[in-house]
């Protein structure tokens, strides 16, 4: 199948392992700060960071781990997470990212399905006692040989390294690795069925982190605030690998997202870049201390993970000084970024599109019914190809073949249109598209419109079943503090401005939305809740 657009190739792909790339960065920037974690009181230079990574890697080798083994990491954002990330990569062990929100059933599934020999975990997170939960699943996970909890004696011994395995032994292991070796398994949350383990290589994630940062103009002078979770590509790839491939500084503001902690870190560490999903930026802008903050050091960053409301993007540029902020689009299965706006793109392109195709990546728009490539200007399923496409779902060839076609194209499930200049606009999920009385409706269009209401802080639109029209629209709205806007006020705002069939029949005011740990809105949960609350019945 032909591509509609191909990314630039003037900067070559990095054909090296993550371990070799880190060592090259250390050689160039040994005394620059690699990582700062204010919530832990940690500040490491690249030399110190590299030494800690090497010692942990040697400890893992002494413990019997070998190339291709799987080790789970179950923890929120701590400096130690990054040590595990780079140490496993150095010895060719596949890191299995476990969602910090998982409960025992989900934990057991991920460990069993991936075949983890070890699990490294925080002792607890919020209301979750990880030590007790691991103990509860041990009998159900017979392949799990060892569970190590951060900061206990066993962890300290492991992190200290080993006298049995020396630097030369580690060098020999690293030299035997290949850039196309699998190095990471990330479980996609999905809305139905069991999670799928997207299997990613050194080349996949090293290059994606590198090019995402390249398109922001990263150098060793940049300091990136990373409030997004490490267990997801946004944190460990676009964040950590984006920094270490450029000699930039990783700044971890807190174990999990807190708007105030992010603002503290940006201000005190003079961060030049900030990452987040739209809900995070909304919370930061709405923080009661925002007006007193000095965020003038900010220059760029990435907003991704879910569609970005235009008004939010404008505020990020105007009020947070992020003139060169970019929008990125992708999915775990593509390492993750496939398209991104550029720092010199117009405001229109940085608010109305997800940019152009990434370097060394191809994009096409496919007819969901026939699979044929559509023309620019036509709406269809966005498909991507290139170095960034995962090896497949771990030990799941059937679902891999459903996602990646015979020609290597990854089918995203997202509806998109590409304009004549190559800019891509996401118009919705194939599964999210609503059909009301024969009219196709894309929720994002309604969401963007309602963001223009002065009292609307955030809005999500879902479809709910209707006996007459098949589906009706329901708007879940977060209002600004002090607003007295009513449901009818919202409908009046819509009438005469948008077509009658796009006016939400149901309006619900909420404080927040059901989300994943990464901040992605779970619309299927909203739909399920609405059906139960309104007493609706799904069509047969």
Average pLDDT, the chain: 93
The answer to whether the predicted template modeling score (pTM) of the entire model surpasses 0.75 is yes
Residue 434 CB contacts under 8 Å (≥ 6 apart), including other chains: 440, 441, 442, 443, 463, 471, 473
Instruction: Spell out where 228-377 has E strands.
Output: 249-251, 273-276, 300-303, 326-330, 337-340, 356-357, 361-366
d(CA 57, CA 121): 16
**pLDDT at residue 540 in the model:** 47
**SS3 at position 290:** helix
CATH architecture of 46-178: 3-Layer(aba) Sandwich (3.40)
Give 443's pLDDT tier (boundaries 50, 70, 90). confident
Quick check: 185 pLDDT over 70?
Answer: yes
- Token pair listed for 352: 């109305």
**SS3 at position 129:** strand
List, for residues 468-477, the tens digit of each pLDDT value: 788 899 999 9
List, for residues 125-182, the tens digit of each pLDDT value: 988 999 999 999 999 999 999 999 999 999 999 999 999 999 999 999 999 999 999 9
**Which neighbouring-strand residues pair with 456?**
479
**Stretch 417-427: mean pLDDT:** 94
What is the dotted CATH code of the domain comprising 1-16+203-430?
A: 3.40.50.12780
List, for residues 338-397, the tens digit of each pLDDT value: 999 998 898 888 888 999 999 999 999 999 889 999 999 999 999 999 999 999 999 999
**pLDDT at residue 174 in the model:** 98
d(CA 110, CA 112): 6
d(CA 489, CA 471): 22
- The secondary structure of residue 44, as a DSSP letter, is E
**pLDDT at residue 188 in the model:** 84
**pLDDT at residue 192 in the model:** 45
d(CA 120, CA 436): 49
Which of 379, 357, 385, 376 has its CA nearest to residue 367?
379
- Token pair listed for 163: 């006298």
List, for residues 502-524, the tens digit of each pLDDT value: 899 999 999 999 987 667 788 88
Quick check: 103 pLDDT over 70?
Answer: yes
Q: Three-state SS across 402-422?
A: HHECCCCCEEEEEEEEECCCC
Residues of the chain with CATH 3.40.50.980: 46-178
Residues of the chain with CATH 3.30.300.30: 434-534
Quick check: 191 pLDDT over 70?
Answer: no
**pLDDT at residue 105 in the model:** 85
434-534 CATH pick, 1.20.140.10, 3.30.300.30, 3.40.50.720, 3.40.50.300: 3.30.300.30
How far the first Cα of the chain sits from its last, in Å, is 36
Q: Three-state SS across 201-266?
A: EHHHHHHHHHHHHHCCCCCCCCEEECCCCCCCHHHHHHHHHHHHCCCCEEECCCCCCCHHHHHHHH
Residues of the chain with CATH 3.40.50.12780: 1-16+203-430
- Token pair listed for 3: 């591509």
């Amino acid at each position: 199948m032909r591509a509609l657009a191909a990314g630039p190739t003037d900067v070559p792909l990095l054909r090296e392992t993550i371990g070799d790339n880190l060592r090259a960065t250390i050689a160039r920037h040994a005394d620059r700060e690699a990582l700062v974690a204010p919530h832990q009181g940690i500040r490491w230079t690249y030399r110190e960071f590299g030494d800690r990574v090497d010692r942990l890697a040697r400890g893992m080798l002494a413990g019997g781990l070998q190339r291709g083994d799987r080790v789970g990491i179950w923890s929120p954002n701590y400096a130690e997470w990054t040590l595990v990330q780079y140490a496993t990569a150095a010895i060719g062990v596949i890191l299995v990212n476990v969602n910090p929100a998982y409960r025992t059933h989900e934990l057991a599934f991920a460990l069993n399905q991936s075949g983890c020999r070890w699990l490294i975990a925080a002792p607890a997170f919020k209301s979750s006692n990880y030590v007790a939960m691991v103990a509860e699943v041990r009998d159900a996970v017979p392949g799990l040989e060892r569970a190590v909890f951060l900061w206990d004696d066993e962890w300290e011994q492991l992190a200290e390294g080993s006298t049995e395995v020396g630097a030369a032994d580690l060098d020999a292991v690293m030299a035997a690795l290949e850039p196309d070796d699998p190095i990471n398994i990330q479980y996609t949350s999905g809305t139905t069925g069991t999670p799928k383990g997207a299997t990613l290589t050194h080349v996949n994630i090293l290059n994606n982190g590198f090019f995402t940062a390249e398109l922001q103009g990263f150098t060793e002078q940049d300091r990136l605030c990373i409030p997004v979770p490490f267990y997801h590509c946004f944190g460990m790839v676009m964040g950590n690998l984006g920094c270490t491939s450029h000699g930039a500084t990783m700044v971890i503001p807190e174990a999990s997202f807190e708007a105030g902690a992010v603002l503290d870190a940006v201000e005190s560490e003079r961060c030049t870049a900030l990452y987040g999903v739209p809900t995070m930026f909304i919370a930061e802008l709405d923080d009661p201390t925002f007006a007193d903050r000095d965020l003038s050091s900010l220059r760029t960053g990435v907003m991704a993970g879910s569609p970005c409301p235009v008004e939010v993007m404008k505020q990020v540029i105007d009020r947070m000084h992020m003139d060169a902020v970019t929008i990125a689009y992708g999915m775990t299965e593509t390492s993750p970024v496939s398209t991104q706006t550029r720092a010199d793109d117009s405001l229109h392109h940085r608010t109305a599109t997800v940019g152009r195709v990434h370097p060394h990546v191809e994009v096409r728009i496919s007819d969901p019914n026939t699979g044929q490539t559509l023309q620019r200007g036509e709406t269809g399923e966005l498909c991507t190809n290139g170095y960034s496409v995962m090896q497949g779902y771990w030990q799941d060839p059937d679902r891999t073949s459903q996602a990646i076609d015979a020609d290597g194209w990854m089918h995203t499930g997202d509806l998109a249109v590409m304009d004549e200049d190559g800019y891509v606009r996401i118009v919705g999920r194939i599964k999210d598209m609503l059909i009301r009385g024969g009219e196709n409706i894309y929720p994002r269009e309604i969401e963007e419109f309602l963001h223009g209401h002065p009292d609307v802080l955030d809005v999500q639109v879902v479809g709910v079943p209707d006996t007459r029209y098949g589906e009706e629209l329901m708007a879940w709205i977060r209002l600004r503090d002090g607003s007295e806007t009513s449901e009818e006020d919202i409908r009046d705002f819509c009438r005469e401005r948008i077509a009658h069939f796009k006016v939400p029949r149901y309006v619900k005011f909420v404080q927040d939305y059901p989300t994943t740990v990464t901040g992605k809105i779970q619309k299927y949960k909203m739909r399920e809740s609405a059906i139960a609350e309104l007493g609706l019945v799904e069509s047969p």
